[in-house]
Amino acid sequence: MRIQGIDHIEFYVGDLEKSSAWLCDAFGFRVAGRSAPGSGTAATRSVLLRQGQIQLVLTTTAAPDDDVAQFVARHGDGVAVIAFGVDNVTSAFAEITAVGAVPISGPRSAQAGTQCVTTAVVSGFGDVVHRLVERTGTGAEFAPGTVQMAPGAGLADQDRPLLDLLDHVAVCVPAGELDSTVSYYRDVFGLAQIYDERIEVGTQAMASKVVQDHAGRVTFTLIEPDLTRDPGQIDEFLSAHGGAGVQHLAFRTEDIAAAVTALSGRGVQFLVAPAGYYQALETRLGQLAIQIDVLRGLNVLADRDRWGQMFQIFCRSTHERHTFFIELIERKGALTFGSSNIRALYEALDDTRAGLTH
């Protein structure tokens, strides 16, 4: 099986209108569809949001004990489904369940005109599952019979989107589960490990490994705490979230300076770069595609790999448990990750945590 990319991300949320308004008003997403009348259960409602190539589904429920309610009770609002595009759901489902994926729901199809969408669901990490999605034919439907599309939802945005695509997903797992999680995505989904780093921040430490598909369209940054050191941010995430889960989504932008400026004007707050971060940046990385003064003024981090440069910034979490946030990233040739920005992120998060406790 070859994954064709991340088709969409589904969040389970407690307040659907508040969550969708936050993503639309602050980050520029647009409502592309809503639950079709008579679809699903009477208690469950969903909203489809789009921007660039990014598709987000937000789902809530009024039922006290269904899967959505139980997820939100355990974890708070969060990513519950990561959907992979595949060329053939039936064969992919059979293949990956034969090598270790737990089947949750088998292949089922829905059709609208010449367009057919087939899906199936298998296990992922923690309470996060993977939906396999096969799209054939032509049309703008997202989920025929389930999502009622808004007028013009299949057309490209007239305005240039601030955010273009989902660059990577950052996942926290309990200590001792990092290697088995890497093995699961290698053996079941065919992802390869491309990065391995140990990060130390003060008296805490964590290990990070990155897995990616053959085309670089699906990238998971997997992180576990080091229990031989003091408890830190990953331990706090796992405790507050209630186990393994998605810590952040990284959205790619073609112009990070413009995106940060626009989002700041809409009320989005960003983490502040660690003290002294920019002093030796050009000496360490060489000439940068974005001027140091611009980076410093916006608190954008910079790094590079052997293919080029990347620029990153992390939003302050507005989650009630402080367990989820959004990253913006611009890549100028870089294909993977550099060596210093993960540490800079967690130093900035440490500063934020210190401020919250004072």
Q: Is residue 151 classed exposed, middle or buried when 0-12, 13-18 and 19+ CB atoms within 10 A define those classes?
A: exposed
Task: Compute the residue count for the chain.
Answer: 358
* Strand order through the sheet with 219-225: 192-201, 204-212, 219-225, 165-172, 245-252, 325-332, 308-314, 301-305
pLDDT the model gives residue 339: 61
Cβ contact 182:211 at 8 Å: yes
3-state secondary structure 93-143: HHHHHHCCCCEEEEEEEEEECCEEEEEEEEEEECCEEEEEEEEECCCCCCC
Could you list the mean pLDDT of each consecutive 10-residue stretch along the chain, which spans 358 residues?
A: 93 97 97 84 90 97 94 98 97 97 97 94 98 92 92 63 96 98 97 90 89 95 93 93 98 98 97 86 91 96 92 95 96 82 66 47
Domain pair 5-149 / 165-357, same fold: yes
Give 5-149's CATH code, choosing from 3.30.1490.20, 3.40.640.10, 3.90.228.20, 3.10.180.10.
Answer: 3.10.180.10
Tell me what pLDDT residue 343 has: 66
SS3 content of the chain, % helix, strand, coil (to 5): 25, 40, 35
Amino acid at position 205, single letter: A
How far is the C-alpha of 98 from the C-alpha of 102, rounded, in Å?
Answer: 9
- Judge contact between 126 and 243, C-beta under 8 A: yes
Contact between 185 and 211 (Cβ < 8 Å): yes
d(CA 187, CA 60): 33
Q: Among 192, 174, 172, which Cα is nearest to 182's? A: 192
110 contacts 117 by C-beta, under 8 angstroms: yes
Q: Which of 145, 129, 142 is CA-nearest to residue 68?
A: 129
Contact assessment for residue 357 and residue 322, using Cβ atoms and an 8 Å cutoff: no
Confidence at residue 55, expressed as pLDDT on a 0 to 100 scale:
97
> What pLDDT shows up at residue 276?
84
Q: In the chain, what are the domain boundaries? A: 5-149, 165-357
Note the pTM of the prediction, 2 decimals: 0.93
Count of beta carbons in the 10 Å neighbourhood of residue 108: 11
The predicted pLDDT at position 35 comes to: 93
Strand partners, 34: 47, 148
Q: How far is CA 316 from the centre of its chain?
A: 15
Q: Name the token pair of 137.
A: 């034919």
CATH class of segment(s) 165-357: alpha beta
DSSP secondary structure of 269-298 = -BPPPPTTTTTTHHHHH-S-SS-HHHHHHH
